[in-house]
């Protein structure tokens, strides 16, 4: 109702527009009816300083990203196959978790906190396909456990694409060509 008062719209605006248009007058710009509504302006969501291009999802914020990253790496470092790789390479787990949280936060919330070169450390790790398969398996199970299906999908789809780009980048340093395996 606040919307109608603010925008001057009424439930039968559409038919009004059709009539005036047919009568040769310029139609009202239709998207005006879809503009953000004044009654929502005081809600907590409207008052956050989210980047306009940030993914909008009620469960997505820095706290939920951190929970995903912490839970995932808690499992990855215990894993028989990929745990030893992490435990050999990661000197400071707090710093790693901060960096990976920044990575996802920059990706989805556009916070700009990560500006590294994500491929680089992976080139030196002698990673095989089975390592990426396990990484994705653990990551996907964790995302599904913690997030609503649509938010989990967002992370999973992106992680698969990145895993493919890492795998293909690693293959090219070995003089090999590789097709994406996870994101097609
Ligand atoms: C078998 C799979 C993987 C293994 C074993 C692995 C392992 C590692 C290791 C050891 C580091 C360096 C950590 C440090 O120096 O503190 C690293 C960094 C990183 N990894 Fe992975 N990773 C894997 C897959 C992935 C995937 C699929 C993603 C993204 C979806 C990813 C994202 C990153 C990022 C963003 C960094 C930080 C790079 C930087 O230093 O700026 N990793 N990873």
User: For the chain, which residues make up each domain, given as ranges?
Assistant: 2-47, 62-173
SS3 38: helix
Quote the pTM value: 0.78
- The torsion defined by the Cα of 149, 71, 102 and 62, in degrees rounded to 10, comes to 60
- pLDDT per position as a tens digit, 38-58: 444 444 544 568 999 999 999
Ligand 1 lining (C-beta closer than 6 Å) = 82, 85-86, 89-90, 96, 99-100, 103, 116, 118, 121-122, 125, 127, 131-132, 135, 159, 162-163, 166
Within its chain, how far is the Cα of 179 from the centroid?
A: 24
- pLDDT per position as a tens digit, 83-141: 999 999 999 999 999 999 999 999 999 999 999 999 999 999 999 999 999 999 999 99
At a CB cut-off of 8 Å and minimum separation 6, what does 115 contact?
A: 106
Q: What CATH class is the domain 62-173?
A: mainly alpha
Q: What is the rounded distance in angstroms from the CA atom of residue 169 to the CA atom of residue 159?
A: 15
Q: How many Cα atoms within 13 Å fall on the side-chain side of residue 84?
A: 5
Most ligand 1 atoms within 8 A of CB, residue of 118, 128, 164 to mutate: 118
């Amino acid at each position: 109702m606040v919307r109608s008062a603010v925008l001057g719209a009424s439930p039968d605006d559409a038919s009004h527009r059709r009539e005036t248009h047919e009568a040769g007058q310029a139609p009202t710009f239709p998207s005006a009816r879809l503009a953000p509504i004044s009654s929502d302006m005081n809600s907590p969501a409207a008052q956050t300083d989210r980047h306009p291009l940030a993914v909008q999802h009620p469960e997505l914020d820095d706290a939920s990203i951190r929970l995903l990253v912490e839970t995932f790496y808690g499992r990855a470092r215990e894993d028989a196959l990929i745990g030893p790789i992490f435990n050999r390479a990661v000197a400071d787990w707090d710093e790693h978790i901060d960096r990976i949280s920044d990575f996802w936060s920059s990706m989805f919330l556009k916070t700009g906190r990560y500006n590294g070169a994500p491929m680089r450390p992976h080139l030196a790790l002698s990673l095989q396909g089975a390592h990426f398969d396990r990484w994705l398996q653990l990551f996907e199970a964790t995302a599904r456990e913690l997030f609503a299906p649509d938010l989990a999908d967002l992370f999973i789809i992106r992680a698969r694409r990145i895993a493919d780009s890492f795998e293909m980048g690693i293959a090219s340093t070995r003089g090999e060509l590789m097709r994406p395996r996870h994101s097609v």
